[in-house]
A and B are shown apart, each in its own frame.
Chain A
Amino acid sequence: MKVGLFVTCLVDLSRPGIGFAALKLLEGAGCEVVVPATQTCCGQPGYNSGGREVAKALARKVLAEFRDCDYVVAPSGSCSGQMKVATVHDLFKGEPEQADFERLAARWYELSQFLVEVLKVERVPGRFAGTVTYHDSCSGLRELGVKMQPRYLLGMAGARIAEMEGAERCCGFGGTFSIKLGDISTRMCENKCESIRAAGADAVVGGDLGCLLNIEGRLRRTGDTRTKVLHFAQVIAGEG
């Protein structure tokens, strides 16, 4: 089984460890993993800023890079939503390429869904002796239905889950929104951090690096240096 790893631009730039954690999990489960060296970004920042053409150009680039993979896996619900939903239902809707993107969408998985639903993993290498609280990222949750999968995997790693109030509420990241409307974004993030503090977990865990950088940035700014902020891949791969 040849699995393409779409690393995501944020992981590539900012937290390579998440990419290696994903790699370890996939290889550990017996996948042949390829990482196309030319990959950059799924195009979502452009798409959500109104730059439709650049988003289409980048989607085509991703399609070409992963053409010969049985599956494509990304450690992000947001980028996966872009490639599974936006391309098929909007960007290439009614165009000749729509069928190509439908085929790509059918092979494309968010990491936790791939591990649970395709690989059906029953054990993970990581151990986490403590409590975690899980932040549901918007795209993964509402576009793809990522909800129980990461919690199930975290449970396999021995983590106790302390649910926060409003786990499904947006953290305020929203890509360029976090910069364009920084004050509102910060307030939304503070609301999220209040829930995280109230949950009293050792770590806040999520599946999208954008949200995690946002949350970590606010926690640290407000003096919380203790709560770990981790991608679930890091926890279950034992790379946290």
Chain B
Amino acid sequence: MFFKQRASEKLGDELLQGNMRKAKGKFVDGRAKAVAEFGVWEEVRAHAAKVRDRALANLDAYLVEFEANATRRGAVVHWAETAEEACAIVAGIARDNGVRKAAKSKSMVSEEVNLNEALEAAGVEVIETDLGEYILQLAHEPPSHIVAPAVHKSKEQVAELFVKAHGKPRLTEIPAMTREAREALRGHFLSADMGISGSNFVIAETGTTLTVTNEGNADMVTTLPRIHVVITGIEKVIGTLEDFATLIRLLPRSAIGQTVTNYLTLTTGPKMPDEADGPEQMHIVLVDAGRTKLLGGPMQEMLRCIRCGACMNHCPVYQNVGGHAYGWVYPGPMGSILTPVYVGLENAGDLPNAATFCGECAVACPVKIPLPDLMRKLREQQFDRKLRPWPERMAIAAWGFAATRPALYAFLSRVGARVAAWMGGSDGLIHRLPGLDGWTKGRDMPAPQGRTFRELYALRQGNRR
């Protein structure tokens, strides 16, 4: 099923629409306020784009430098070309170390490669510990947002899930639900053999991985279990701690309007011999799974993405249909670009077209990714590879043929204006237009008035002479 049908279903889902209405504006208003009081947003944004570009331009060297430093600090660096390889590596680490339970903090790369399924198949119990991800694990649903994964759920739906999972009386207040989840998850942190986290960036200079959270779950996951596995994309590498300082000024502000998240944790290697806490082993899995396809061409800018979610928060399409309509782990404008590239343009049909090119995402993006331009590039590929339905291709071809031939165009537009004016009748509104029912299903088409401007202008000029 493709985006168009799924989106139409989501538009008719009253419960979802109600939940989306509650969330509406919170992210956008929060970001706007944070940006306004920041003072040098554009300067930092430009620097951030530069910092990301610099690493991407020499991605192999930055990765090798990162690997050398992480290894020096005692971490084991693994490389995965595909999703399957990434899963096999993590499952292998679990098997080799007799891991029975893994506690996870939020990782979109793990969603992307389907890590939970692979670990469960290997006999490992996987516990999601980010509150939103935990809720979705109970609901057996994928996230609908990369920062706020359960944004599509109401508190009543969450209460229902908790009753089933925790076997306690139904709660009505959000703080009490949060407390109940905290208590349910605390034991898992303490008993897990493996902690799995993502890494928002990896720092070449120091061989450091890092997590950015408000809940503190990532800190539990990276500190308590005896094995820590980081799974992240190869594009996340940056040069220095200073580069991180720049990017972290933008990330929480763009994501949720917060000046800083409650926790930022840079993790460099496993615990030292005489330390009281920290994992005995640290593994870092660097995943390609399609990323190199974006390199070296016009799409490379997409790899700057820092996964803040601002593009989807600001997207009027996302705001109305929610994340699940996009069909894969990355929704909104960034997903409309990543999904076709990662899963194949032929498998992601409508996604590059799921935008009006209103430009809000490009304005909001903290690393200046020209998201509409990249979507247009994908449309160009669809056009060149003849992947769009033939009536659409025919219409564009016919329009192009006519528009480049002024005499023909003038004739057709004169006929068209007259016919459409007649169709508009006395109220000047066309209520149904065959072939354009995408428009007329929910809207009238204000009819042309019978004559084209150029006809009337020629008349006026004739009268003047």
Chain A interface residues (CB < 8 Å from chain B):
7, 9, 11-17, 19-20, 23, 35, 37-41, 43, 45-52, 54, 57-58, 61, 90, 138-139, 142-143, 169-170, 172-191, 213-214, 216-218, 220-221, 229
Contact = CB atoms under 8 A, between A and B. Distances in A.
Interface stretch (B46-54, B249-257, B452-460): B452-460
Interface stretch (B118-126, B137-145, B150-158, B392-400): B392-400
Given A183-B4, A218-B443, 17 more contacts: A9-B413, A11-B453, A12-B452, A12-B453, A14-B447, A16-B449, A37-B458, A46-B400, A47-B376, A50-B384, A54-B396, A61-B404, A182-B438, A183-B7, A183-B438, A185-B439, A217-B443
B373 A13 contact: no
B396 to A, nearest CB: 5
A54 B404 contact: yes
Contacts of B399: 45-46
Given A40-B409, A214-B443, A180 B357 contact: no
A100 to B, nearest CB: 18
Contacts of A35: 454, 457
Most buried by B among A15, A138, A143: A138
B417 interface: yes
A54 to B, nearest CB: 4
B453 A138 contact: no
Contacts of A179: 436, 438-439
B382 to A, nearest CB: 6
B416 A13 contact: yes
A16 B373 CA distance: 32
A142 B438 contact: no
A174 B439 CA distance: 12
Contact of B400 (A39, A54, A90, A214): A54
Secondary structure call for the A interface: helix
15 contacts: A9-B413, A14-B446, A37-B458, A40-B403, A48-B379, A51-B383, A51-B400, A170-B356, A181-B4, A182-B439, A184-B354, A188-B316, A217-B429, A218-B444, A221-B444
A49 B379 CA distance: 6
Contacts of A213: 445-446
What range describes how many residues of B lie at the interface? 35 or more
B168 interface: no
Contacts of A46: 396, 399-400, 403
Interface stretch (B189-197, B229-237, B285-293, B358-366): B358-366
A72 B157 CA distance: 57
Contacts of A183: 4, 7-8, 11, 438, 441-442
A7 B454 contact: yes
A23 B373 CA distance: 33
B355 A16 contact: no
Given A90-B373, A169-B316, A184-B317, A217 B452 contact: no
A217 B11 contact: no
Interface string B374-418: 001001111110001000100010011011101001000100110
A186 B403 contact: no
Nearest to B4: A181
A138 B382 contact: no
B448 interface: yes
Nearest to B437: A182
Contacts of A23: 457
Contacts of A90: 373
B67 interface: no
9 closest residue pairs by CB, A with B: A182-B438, A174-B356, A50-B383, A186-B442, A170-B358, A50-B379, A54-B400, A217-B443, A16-B453
A9 B404 CA distance: 12
B404 A52 contact: no
B33 interface: no
